């Protein structure tokens, strides 16, 4: 499996918009589809497509980290499958951690190896 590469959100907007709607129905979000699109257009966040869906990564500072703003996909085991790729992308910009927020209880099981504080998950990377 090759590592995902950043893609233009405008080139894939219909697919992304459908996935964002599914994610928003399953859990409240602090973003809108338009804010995601604008963040990607401005280079504040990046779309990575995978065969099963996509994820939106947002690099942040203090400390340097990568926030998984949205993850969407069809099928099981996607966190385990793509986490190493996200970790490599984070490491390539000097990030020391990856973060993710969700109220969905299933992530507690899937992300047991992450540190959880309420609905905020953090994974230190070396």
Task: Dihedral sign for Cα 82, 27, 121, 34, please.
Answer: positive
The tens place of each residue's pLDDT in the chain, 126 residues long, gives 567 889 999 999 999 999 999 999 998 888 999 999 999 999 999 999 999 999 999 999 999 999 999 999 998 888 888 999 999 999 999 999 999 999 988 888 888 899 999 999 999 997
In angstroms, the CA 64 to CA 104 distance is 26
Token code pair at residue 63? 């400390």
Residue 46's beta-bridge partner residues? 57
**Structural domains in the chain?**
6-124 (3.40.630.30)
In angstroms, the CA 7 to CA 42 distance is 13
């Amino acid at each position: 499996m090759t590592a995902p590469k950043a893609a233009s959100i405008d080139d894939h907007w219909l697919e992304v918009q459908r996935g964002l709607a599914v994610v928003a129905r399953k859990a409240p979000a602090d973003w809108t589809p338009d804010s995601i699109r604008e963040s990607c257009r401005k280079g504040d966040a990046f779309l990575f497509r995978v065969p099963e869906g996509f994820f939106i990564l947002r690099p942040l500072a203090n400390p340097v980290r990568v926030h998984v703003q949205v993850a969407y996909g069809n099928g099981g085991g996607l966190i385990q499958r793509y986490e190493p790729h996200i970790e490599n992308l984070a490491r390539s910009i000097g990030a020391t951690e990856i973060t993710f927020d969700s109220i969905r209880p299933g992530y507690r099981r899937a992300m047991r190896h992450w540190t959880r504080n309420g609905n905020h998950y953090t994974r230190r990377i070396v």
